[in-house]
Structure 1
Amino acid sequence: MQEKNKVFDVIVIGGGPAGIMASISAAKENKSVLLLEKLSKIAAKLKATGGGKCNLTNTLSTDEFMAKFGKNGRFMSHALEAFNANDLRDFFASIGVETIARDGFRVFPLEHSSGIILKALDDELERLKVKVDCSVEIQTIQKKDDIFIITSQSNIYKSKNIILATGGLGYPTLGATGDGYIFAKEFGHEVTSLHPAMMPLFTKEKNFAACKADTIAKAILKVDIAKYKKLKLTGDLIFTNNGIRGPVVLDFARELTPILAKYDEVPLLISFLKGKNEEQIYTHLKKEIEKNPTATVLENLTSLLALSVAQEICNICEINSAEKFKNIDGIKREKLIKTLAWTPLTVIGHEGFKNAMITRGGVELKEIDSKTMQSKLIDGLYFCGEVVNIDGPCGGYNLQWSFSSGNLAGKTISL
């Protein structure tokens, strides 16, 4: 038990982006740091981020950034003030990683490779003499006489402070088991209900499976339940064999999974036409028909939609797509215009945490000091990253939060 008699200034539990940054930040404050990771290597989930391209952050202002996290966003103000997107880019530049925002919004390493990020972080941990132990399965954490005692199958570790950076429940194949929530509860912390987020959704209707090759740009999704009528999001949508995916779906899943926990089904209304209303659609089709009176309904609709989607809209409305618009029954014509404006789809499920990129919910924020990330219940216990009740949409939001909160926790460690 090589660490049995050594007392570290801080032990960081979890080798993801939050834990790595917390370790670096604490080491820069001249603290002795031990980073514990249950997998054989650190940063497994970071390596997979953004399809391996690693969308680190984005270019929004701090206020705009926090607003994207909803009601919990203001909790991040101190962490972002201490370490915002510009600071993150400067940090990576200082360790040899240049970043770029080619679209003016999303920030990636110049080489668009997470491997570059991992190598640079590894080197920085080594330079700062942070001790890293991998393949450590923690069994218990206790606090005795102001010292935290961590036991694993093969070792005992001691520290004056610990930082829980264990992440959430998403992607269990990359090490997510929810240990941090268990440890937090054992220290008396409340953990909110936990839901998978940022993932594809299954729909009851399977008719759009034939449209997989076509991306719907700037589709608008809204929940067709009176209680949740304010939930609306715009973005690119892609159909699958079982439902829907794409950036707008990944983001909207954050809102839908808690609702699905209450209801078996969640009805959606989707605009494939950037919010055009029925009158605008009818006027458009009327002009198309005037230009080409012999055109079929399908040809009329392809002036608005991809061919495959137009065909499925006809199928939904039980319309012969080879027919002329003027020959369609009045009731079916009315249904067609209505369906073109807002197409109904019913979400019935998802894959759970198996392929969820993030977790919605976590350690209750009111029990954490936002100025330090320290527990208000237990001195010397800190939290950072996804383990707390903060989650954001796609686009570098969650990684920035992990880095910012990790930085704050590490630099404010009090001995």
Structure 2
Amino acid sequence: MSKNYDLIVVGAGAAGMIAAIRAARNGKKVLLLEKLSQIAAKLRATGGGRCNLTNTLSNEEFMAKFGRDGRFMQDALNRFNHKNLIEFFKEIGVETHAPDGFRVFPTSHSSATIISALQDEMQRVKIDVLCSQKVEKLLSEDNRVSGVQTSTDTFFSSNVIIATGGLGYPVLGAEGDGYSLAHELGHKTTELHPAMMPLKTKEEWVGNCRADTIAKAELRVDIKKHKKLKASGDLIFTKSGIRGPVVLDFAREITPLISKYGEVPILVNLTKGMNEEQITKHLKDEVLKNPDATMKELVSTLLPEALSLELCKLTLPDPDAKLKSIPGLSRAKLINYLAWTPLTVTGHDGFKMAMITRGGIVLKEIDPKTMQSKIIDGLYFCGEVMNLDGPCGGYNLQWSFASGHLAGSLKK
């Protein structure tokens, strides 16, 4: 096997594989290095193995979901948005669809289909793929990349792409290698936090409500400086806290605040957006239908039984009393809790349970038109290693593919 290449890609995940394919299709001689014994370990687990590749949002709407740094993606998305990605997979034999009109999956709903097609294409365009090769050092001369040193060998190239991902799911190979490789050549990273993960709460009553999914819950941070932070979606209570799609999305906002404040008070609307006035009217209407109903039974017309009982126990002297016999203050407290249930997020399981990383290589040090380093020539970045992360729903994979495609379009 040759030691000299036009391009070396470090990391065989979604971003790295598409970068390698893009470069090889342009006639470049490409080496793809993966430290694990097989490629695409994290991609295999994506979306519970169903592989939510992208979504159908416009580029503008898509970028907005990444917050203030989302504009950094513009050049990459203009060249390779969800339509281009769908077309690319069709070219290599993978049919896709969007059953809910938003999230795009392979029609097989299996990540194995995606990985197999990418492997076949890498073979077709003659990319050299080496697994069990951990890159330990980037080589450079005269302010330009010149190659990489692995645990067993040295390979040479004037172009290197770092596609090593973040720190999430270390069991799938994430160790933050890309950060330390980039640091050695002068790049900086932002603070790194785990994201897209379940959260733990101080309140123990949540453990009694595990049987039900609460649809259309809304979460918001109850800290004056961070009142604008909110998210909505399906919520599930766990033995020690909360999870579900809305929590996975919101965790990326919460974990930095836990680092800062130690614990984070949040408010949760569990009644599909109903406010105090609407809840009061609903309960009164239910009493008219059933004058003998207990408070617990009345609340159960809004929420699952176990959750109704817990909220009644938290706010009322007797959950089995009737509405008219409940003191005004207790009744007001219950209605407040039904509109906005207070919870206190105290922690999480760290990077071992995080699907993605919040933070990464500082974007100001990367040219968004090429993904090339502004500090050292020939060094490129793509995917999660950079300081960009999005919510659930195909955002992070689309960004990996788009940035990988752009990084692999190198001219030299």
* TM above 0.5: yes
SS at match of 1:115: helix
Of residues 328, 331, 345 in structure 2, which corresponds to 1:330? 328
The answer as to 2:3 corresponding to 1:27 is no
Q: Is the 1:285–1:301 Cα contact (8 Å) retained in structure 2?
A: yes
Aligned to 1:152: 150
Deviation at 1:390, TM superposition (A): 0.4
Give the 5 Å matches for 1:168-207: 168-207=166-205
Of residues 263, 266, 276 in structure 1, which corresponds to 2:264? 266
Q: Distance in 2 between matches of 1:153 and 1:239?
A: 45
SS at match of 2:408: helix
Query: What is the one-letter code of the residue matched to 1:242?
Result: S
Of residues 69, 75, 85 in structure 2, which corresponds to 1:78? 75
The answer as to 2:281 corresponding to 1:283 is yes
The answer as to 2:368 corresponding to 1:370 is yes
SS at match of 1:262: helix
Aligned to 1:54: 51
Deviation at 1:292, TM superposition (A): 1.2
Q: Distance in 1 between matches of 2:145 and 2:291?
A: 83
Deviation at 1:318, TM superposition (A): 3.8
Query: What is the one-letter code of the residue matched to 1:393?
Result: P
Aligned to 1:87: 84
The answer as to 2:163 corresponding to 1:165 is yes
Q: Distance in 2 between matches of 1:414 and 1:126?
A: 22
Aligned to 2:207: 209
Where structure 2 has 5 or more consecutive residues not aligned to the other structure, the ranges are none
Using the size of structure 1 for normalisation, the TM-score is: 0.98
Q: Is the 1:7–1:160 Cα contact (8 Å) retained in structure 2?
A: no
Deviation at 1:187, TM superposition (A): 1.0
Q: Is the 1:209–1:240 Cα contact (8 Å) retained in structure 2?
A: yes
**1:164-220 residue CA offsets vs partner (Å, 9 max, x unmatched):** 000000000000000100111111111100000000000000102121111110101
Q: Distance in 2 between matches of 1:185 and 1:139?
A: 12
Q: Is the 1:14–1:37 Cα contact (8 Å) retained in structure 2?
A: yes
Aligned to 1:45: 42
SS at match of 2:380: strand
Aligned to 2:131: 134
Of residues 233, 236, 242 in structure 1, which corresponds to 2:234? 236
Give the 5 Å matches for 1:400-415: 400-411=398-409, 413-415=410-412
Query: What is the one-letter code of the residue matched to 1:162?
Result: V
Q: Distance in 2 between matches of 1:302 and 1:397?
A: 36
Q: Distance in 2 between matches of 1:85 and 1:263?
A: 38
Q: Distance in 2 between matches of 1:69 and 1:325?
A: 46
Deviation at 1:91, TM superposition (A): 0.5
Q: Distance in 1 between matches of 2:179 and 2:158?
A: 21
Of residues 116, 120, 129 in structure 2, which corresponds to 1:119? 116
Deviation at 1:54, TM superposition (A): 0.3
Q: Distance in 1 between matches of 2:103 and 2:405?
A: 21
**1:343-389 residue CA offsets vs partner (Å, 9 max, x unmatched):** 00000000010010000000011111000000011110000000000
Q: Distance in 1 between matches of 2:314 and 2:40?
A: 46
Using the size of structure 2 for normalisation, the TM-score is: 0.98
Q: Which moved more, 1:152-161 or 1:109-118?
A: 152-161
Q: Is the 1:147–1:158 Cα contact (8 Å) retained in structure 2?
A: no
Query: What is the one-letter code of the residue matched to 2:287?
Result: I
Q: Distance in 1 between matches of 2:81 and 2:331?
A: 53
Q: Distance in 2 between matches of 1:163 and 1:409?
A: 7
Q: Is the 1:96–1:120 Cα contact (8 Å) retained in structure 2?
A: yes
Question: How many residues matched?
Answer: 411
Q: Is the 1:163–1:382 Cα contact (8 Å) retained in structure 2?
A: yes
Q: Distance in 2 between matches of 1:203 and 1:299?
A: 27
Q: Is the 1:196–1:254 Cα contact (8 Å) retained in structure 2?
A: yes
Of residues 101, 104, 124 in structure 2, which corresponds to 1:104? 101
Deviation at 1:283, TM superposition (A): 1.1
Q: CA RMSD of the aligned region, Å?
A: 1.0
Deviation at 1:331, TM superposition (A): 1.6
Q: Distance in 2 between matches of 1:139 and 1:101?
A: 41
Q: Distance in 1 between matches of 2:59 and 2:236?
A: 30
Q: Which moved more, 1:139-148 or 1:391-400?
A: 139-148
Of residues 293, 297, 307 in structure 2, which corresponds to 1:295? 293
* Regions of 4+ moved over 6 Å: none
Q: Is the 1:191–1:363 Cα contact (8 Å) retained in structure 2?
A: yes
**1:312-349 residue CA offsets vs partner (Å, 9 max, x unmatched):** 10111144221111111222111111111110000000
Aligned to 1:219: 217
Q: Is the 1:224–1:268 Cα contact (8 Å) retained in structure 2?
A: yes
Aligned to 1:315: 313
Q: Distance in 1 between matches of 2:383 and 2:307?
A: 40
SS at match of 1:408: helix
Percentage of pairs with the same residue:
61
**1:79-117 residue CA offsets vs partner (Å, 9 max, x unmatched):** 000001011001111111000100111100001000111
Deviation at 1:251, TM superposition (A): 0.3
